[in-house]
Structures are given as C-alpha cells and as structure tokens.
Amino acid sequence: MASEAQPPAGRGRDHAGVLISALTRRGRQRFTGTLRMDGSPGGSVSMRDGLVVAASTPAAPGPEPLLLRSGRISEADWTAAFTAGAPEGRLERELVVRGLLGDAGVQVITRAAVADALFAMALCGVRTCTADPGDAAPLLASDPGLDAERATREIRRRLDLAHSWTVLGLSVRSRPRSSRPAGSVPVNAQRRELLAKVNGRRTPRDIAFALGRGLFPVMSDLATLIADGLATVEPPLAAGSDAVLDPEPRTGPAVPSPELPDEGIRSRAAPPPPHWSPPPQEPTGLPRRRHRSTDHEPRFQRKPPT
C-alpha cells in the first residue's frame, strides 16, 4: 500500500495537486486497483491497466442516483436488476438484458459519473492518496475506461471554468436563491427544472442529487442563471463549512442513500451561544416579584433586615 502527499507546488488555488499527480503517475505505471483520496470529503478512483474505470465521492452523484433521480430507471426496475446481477458482478449486463439501458447508455452514464466525481474531488480538495493494488472494481464501470492523461486535462479545464464562476459568487458551498429579472429572459426546460430547486438552502451538490444530474453541469447552468439575473447567491454558512456534504436536500425527512451511508458527514458547525436578556423592569409602586434562577439569569438574594 503506497501513499502520496500533496507537494508544496500543489497548494493554493489548485486543490487538485494530489489527484492529478496520482492519476498521471499511476496511469504511466498501468496501475490496477483503487486510489483512495483523503479530502473534504475525498473519495476513490478505480483503475484498470492505467485507465480510470470508476470514481466515486459523496460530493457528486454516482451512476445510481444519476439514473434513479433523473427518472431514467424506476426504483423497482433498478432493485430487480441489482438483485439479479450484483451478486455475480454482472449488474451492467442485467441492465442491458432487461432493456433498461443500452450498451452505449451504460458507457455514457459511467463515463459522465467518472468525470464528474474527479471534478468534485479536485474542487473540494485532496490532501493525500493511498493506492490499494488489485482492489476489486465497482459493479458499474466504464469499459475500457478513461485515459489518465486525458482525465487530468479535463479536470483542469473544469476547474478553470469553476474558478471563473467565483466572480458571480458561485462556489461548491454557495446556496443560490431564485430571483425575478427586470426583463423577460427565456429559460429552457432543463434550467427551469433547476431553478425550481434553487431556494437559498440547497448547495449545488444538493441540487445535483435532487435532480439526478452531475455537479459540474449543475454549476454551469447555475452560473448562467446568475448571470441572467434569474438567481442570486447566498453567502456560505461559514468559511470552510462542510455543509456541502449534507446527504440529502432538506425537503423532508432525511433518507440515507444506498451510495451515501450516514458516516457523520453532516455539518459540524456549532450552534450560536444562547442570548441572555435582562428580566423586565417592574412598574414603580407595585410590589416586586421574585424571579426564579435560570441558567441565563443572575441569582437574586434578599437583603437581611437591618
């Protein structure tokens, strides 16, 4: 098991130093196994003969939520295919045989999930990488996979775009709110659906999971909506907050996702201290009331008679 730490040159604006260097090095070595990324929240990258075949992170939807929450596959059909195919490692074949996806559809969804997960990990930051040679590949993998050099170029391209969105106030921890523009601005169906989820409480990651879309395309559309005056950006809850990692958009009771087990990834921001206010003043001339002592009030004592 080998571990890689971030080089000094990778610090600062480029949060992807460890991720990019690990992909480049392991791609040249034709590595087979799993790269485990330690970050906020981090994730994992599966490689086969130096090609990236899968990647997952709590910061972006994987193939399952991309298929289910977008409505491309019903939950009942997914459960049936998973039950039949997963134990023998042939989930992909089961989806195709049942007519839920074609061979091309499987590749489109798996490659999109890989690229989006790599972008999300790079954007949130990776501190260290540990390589597990020979680790088992996931059930849904891209075949043959993404070339590591090409994957790193795509990571940098997406990070550059994400950096340009910061002038609009948009980041992975922003909580955009819809607004009414001064003039009429045409909006297509996809952006209209996204705008319906923009309520000042959800982060781009929350919206991506709610819609079953990738984090990068959601942020790209949010940038357009903000530039067109259809949305504004609420400031983050706190600097360095982990609130982006809430497992579900807060529209109802939280239901753990199969890919996102509750592992203490909710926001750890401490609640504000209780506010103390003095007891109300009694009107002049009336008998004074005795106040009970509380956690936030001073304890009153009667003076001994003189």
Q: What are phi and psi of 71, to 5 degrees?
A: 85, 5
Q: Which of 51, 32, 31, 39 is nearest to 10 (CA)?
A: 39
User: Is residue 69 scored above 70 in pLDDT?
Assistant: yes
Radius of gyration over alpha carbons of the chain, in Å? 25
Alpha carbon dihedral 221, 224, 229, 233, in 10-degree steps, equals 60
- Write down the pLDDT at residue 33: 94
pLDDT for 252 equals 38
Task: In whole angstroms, give the CA distance from residue 222 to residue 217.
Answer: 8
User: Domain spans of the chain?
Assistant: 2-160, 169-245
Pick from 21-35, 152-166, 279-293: least confident? 279-293
Q: Dig out the tokens for 16 from the structure.
A: 């992807």
Helix (H), strand (E), coil (C) string for 218-274: HHHHHHHHHHCCCEEEECCCCCCCCHHHCCCCCCCCCCCECCECCCCCCCCCCCCCC
**Contacts with 274 (C-beta within 8 Å, 6 or more apart), sequence order:** 295, 296
- The top-scoring range by mean pLDDT among 83-92, 105-114, 288-297 is 105-114
- CATH code for the part of the protein at 169-245: 1.10.10.10
Q: What percent of the chain has pLDDT over 90?
A: 54
Q: Which residue has the higher pLDDT, 42 or 276?
A: 42
Q: What average pLDDT score do residues 21-39 get?
A: 94
pLDDT(66) > 90: yes
279 or 67, higher pLDDT: 67
Structure confidence at residue 180 (pLDDT): 72
Q: What percent of the chain has pLDDT over 70?
A: 70
Write out pLDDT tens, residues 234-258. 765 554 444 334 433 333 333 333 3
Per-residue pLDDT, averaged over 299-306, amounts to 45
